[in-house]
């Protein structure tokens, strides 16, 4: 089913673009850097928290009230 495949691809592309900000020819990552590892070590988005794949540090996202 080519239609379904196309839809999935578009969805994944949208998901990825959430993590990047494209400014002209530059691409900036929106993810925070790890407090332990420092700049260069980005934390992965795990829904309600960020986790560093390098040291395992987890930071919870601030919830809006
Ligand atoms: Zn780390």
pTM score: 0.53
Q: Pick the residue with more confidence: 14 or 57? A: 57
The confidence band for 8, taking pLDDT boundaries of 50, 70 and 90, is low
If you measure from the C-alpha of residue 53 to the centroid of ligand 1, how many angstroms do you get, rounded to a whole number?
7
Query: What are the residue boundaries of the structural domains of the chain, listed by start?
Result: 1-30, 31-65
Q: What is the pLDDT of residue 43?
A: 92
pLDDT tens-digit profile of 9-56?
A: 666 656 656 667 788 888 777 788 998 999 889 899 898 999 999 999
Distance between Cα 38 and ligand 1 center (Å): 7
Residue 37 Cα, ligand 1 centroid: separation in angstroms?
4
| pLDDT for the residue 54 | 93
Contact present, 58 and 50 (Cβ < 8 Å): yes
Q: For tokens 């959430």, what's the residue?
A: 18
- Pseudo-torsion of CA 13, 19, 24, 25, nearest 10°? -80
Return the exposure string of 23-46: e unless at least 16 CB atoms fall within 10 Å of the residue's CB, then b. Answer: eeeeeeeeeeebeeeeeebbbebe
């Amino acid at each position: 089913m080519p239609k379904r495949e196309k839809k999935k691809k578009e969805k994944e592309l949208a998901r990825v673009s959430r993590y990047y900000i494209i400014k002209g020819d530059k691409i900036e990552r929106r993810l925070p850097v790890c407090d332990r590892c420092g700049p260069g070590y980005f934390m992965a988005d795990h829904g309600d928290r960020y986790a560093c794949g390098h040291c395992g540090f987890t930071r919870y996202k601030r919830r809006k009230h």
